[in-house]
Amino acid sequence: MSAQPPAPAPIRRLTVPQIAARKGAEPIVALTASHVQFARILDAHCDVLLVGDSLGMVSHGFETTLPVSLELMIAHGAAVVRGTARALVVVDMPFGSYEESPQVAFRSAARIMAETGCQAVKLEGGARMAETIAFLTARGIPVMAHIGLTPQSSNTMGGFKTQGREADSWPLHHADAAAVAEAGAFSVVLEGMVEPLAAEVSAACPIPTIGIGASAACDGQILVMEDMLGLGDWAPKFVRKFADLRGEVDRAAGAYAAEVRARSFPAEDETYR
């Protein structure tokens, strides 16, 4: 009787300490995700999947991320967790769910963690949010920070502006990175930063930096999945479209519509007798 082949090893989800240990080592691969089907596909390729509040714009048609609610983030976050087995899942804390006080932030973050099953939350802001980050991490909630261009603050920043074009602003960004690291964040997103500044911040910061429009100098990269797949009709300068799914979906929908109108779909093979 031949021996049975060994059972495949179970897939283990990446942990917060494993991602934190990537600093200066293997680059961190991250994408946003908000749907279970896409999450299942991305899970094999990504170390981190972020359920970003950008879903308000790409999935729900909002002009900004500001209208996104805690309940909406929880619904999408739970779907992504259900569709994954390997990637670390991080859920964005939406505008208004954490800024008031560390205590309010904890209640919001605790709901996200409990109702989605995710492994961490992300919030925007540097030194001004250090107290909140420390409050959350001391109570068992891992935090990914987000500095540089912070979309939830776009109204006070005067729009979506690249950060670091004026050298006199660089100390503020360095201070933000140092503050979130000291407060206990396990990683930090750098968004919309000029390359020399992002390189300096990444070199000085003791936790992994994950760039979006912040050059290859970061410890990892993240893009909005819909931008990367070419699903939109516009994307920022820093996006590389690795596919043209908008064109492919348009082609497929057109072919389907033509066959329905010609009564050639469904055919015999697609019909129950």
- Using a 10 angstrom Cβ sphere, with 0-12 exposed, 13-18 middle and 19 or more buried, the burial of residue 252 is exposed
> How many CB atoms are located within 10 Å of the residue 81 CB?
22
DSSP bridge pairs for 49: 31, 89
What gap in Å lies between CA 221 and CA 219, rounded to an integer?
7
User: Are residue 163 and residue 46 in the same domain, yes or no?
Assistant: yes
244 is in an annotated binding site: no
The amino acid sitting at 257 is A
Give the three-class secondary structure for 239: coil
The mean pLDDT of 41-69, rounded to a whole number, is 96
User: Are residue 237 and residue 253 in the same domain, yes or no?
Assistant: no
Report the greatest alpha carbon distance in the chain.
Answer: 75
Minimum mean pLDDT among 2-6, 28-32, 231-235: which range?
2-6
Judge whether 209 and 176 are in contact, CB under 8 Å.
no
Domain extent at residue 259: 244-272
53 is in an annotated binding site: yes
* 8 belongs to a structural domain: no
User: Are residue 149 and residue 231 in the same domain, yes or no?
Assistant: yes
- Whether the predicted pLDDT of 87 surpasses 80: yes
Catalytic residue chosen out of the listed positions 166, 191, 200, 226: 191
Q: How confident is the model at residue 266 (pLDDT cuts 50, 70, 90)?
A: very high
What gap in Å lies between CA 16 and CA 135, rounded to an integer?
17
pLDDT of residue 8: 66
User: Are residue 155 and residue 46 in the same domain, yes or no?
Assistant: yes
268 is in an annotated binding site: no
Give the three-class secondary structure for 136: helix
Residue 198: phi and psi, rounded to 5, are -60, -40
User: Are residue 252 and residue 156 in the same domain, yes or no?
Assistant: no
* DSSP element (H, E) containing 266: none
User: Are residue 84 and residue 209 in the same domain, yes or no?
Assistant: yes
pLDDT of residue 158: 62
pLDDT digits (tens, 9 = 90+) for 12-50: 999 999 999 999 999 999 999 999 999 999 999 999 999
124 is in an annotated binding site: yes
Residue 45 neighbours by CB under 8 Å, 6+ apart:
29
The mean pLDDT of 115-143, rounded to a whole number, is 98
Q: How confident is the model at residue 9 (pLDDT cuts 50, 70, 90)?
A: low
What gap in Å lies between CA 245 and CA 150, rounded to an integer?
28
Domain of residue 27, CATH code? 3.20.20.60
User: Are residue 27 and residue 45 in the same domain, yes or no?
Assistant: yes
DSSP bridge pairs for 148: 191
DSSP bridge pairs for 220: 28, 210
Exposed e or buried b per residue across 185-210, where buried means at least 16 C-beta atoms within 10 angstroms of its C-beta:
bbbbbbbbbbeebbbbbbeebebbbb
Whether 191 sits among the annotated catalytic residues: the reply is: yes
Number of domains the chain is built from: 2
What angle do the packed helices 70-82 and 102-116 form, to 10 degrees?
Answer: 40
What gap in Å lies between CA 89 and CA 18, rounded to an integer?
13
- Using a 10 angstrom Cβ sphere, with 0-12 exposed, 13-18 middle and 19 or more buried, the burial of residue 8 is exposed
- Whether the predicted pLDDT of 75 surpasses 90: yes
Judge whether 210 and 220 are in contact, CB under 8 Å.
yes
The mean pLDDT of 238-254, rounded to a whole number, is 96
pLDDT of residue 10: 74
pLDDT of residue 93: 98
Q: Could you tell me what percent of the chain has a pLDDT over 90?
A: 88
User: Are residue 158 and residue 262 in the same domain, yes or no?
Assistant: no
Q: How confident is the model at residue 235 (pLDDT cuts 50, 70, 90)?
A: confident
* 183 belongs to a structural domain: yes
User: Are residue 35 and residue 110 in the same domain, yes or no?
Assistant: yes
122 is in an annotated binding site: yes
